[in-house]
Structure 1
Amino acid sequence: MVEFRAQETGPSERGAAIPDAVNLAPTLEGPCGRAWLVDLAGVRRRLDQARPDTTVAAWIVEASWAHPVWHSYLVGLVHLRPDPLVLQPILHRPDATHEFWLFALDPDKPRAPQISGEQRAAMLFPSNFGAQLACPSDAEAMKTIEAAINEIVRGTLSPDTDFRRDWVARFGASNIEVR
């Protein structure tokens, strides 16, 4: 497996321009990027949603080194526990307890309102990657995803679709349809 590292080309030499400054303290930071936990309470207030949904966490991840156009990504994590107000999930692996998705974000939309929950995440479709996990708790699922986000901000795991094989190597291909 060939592993791309941001340091090989330098984040500023290859990366996408970042048109908006985010002046919020990042939750995670590394030499090649930053990541912020999205304020889910703010999202739920904006949606006038009185009860929590299945979303465990969401992060906006800045990794301009990963692609010449996309500078930021959304990583969303949901639990797959039964919920009478939510459609039952499709399990792609029988032991799945959580699912996460990785999306590129629209590079022309400001990120700070997405982080604070004032605006909906400006995800680009289709997703870059998604997988189901088997974790004993929401906290363990968060640790698993935070480890991947730490690799992104260190520049050792690219969120770009050209490196999907690296994500499959870590998390499996449970959500990838093979034809």
Structure 2
Amino acid sequence: MVRFFSYFFAVMALLTLPLKSYGQDNKTVYSCDPEINEWVKANLDKIHKMSRTEWLLLDEMKGRAVFAAFTPQQQQDFWQTKIKEVLALDWKTEERTHIQKLGNFFKEHFFIFSNHSPESEKVLVDFCTKWASEAKEQLGWDDKIVYAIVMSGAKVLDTKGNLEPLPQRSK
């Protein structure tokens, strides 16, 4: 199961990064869907002012592309806000402490949002893999709870890991 989390976190790290190998120009790719990619490019100014609350109104595909277009500060704020939302739920003291550890990591490691290097990805994957393993072994959490907190941007509704569904993509 630890391998699953290592793999999943590596995939998650890659999915949250923009495909910016071409730099900050017209060739930057935020989504493999051409329609979404063009929408993001046309709305970058608006996106760079977008809050997590506004992000939650987007469908999953557009949301991923928008997150990729967020500034590093927006990405950090996004996760800090999500952790605050999660902490507002009715957790046991040990669970709350463990969730706060995740929030502290995101707060103290800004470089994972601003420096998408293999080294920063490794720091993220290593921390999250350990965090998830500890949650399962020490707190008895299942994959659903871990996924809800650290692998999904959606709003966590309860301590069982139920998520508020993101809007469906309209054609």
TM over 0.5: no
Instruction: Provide the TM-score with structure 1 as the length reference.
Output: 0.29
TM-score when normalising by structure 2: 0.30
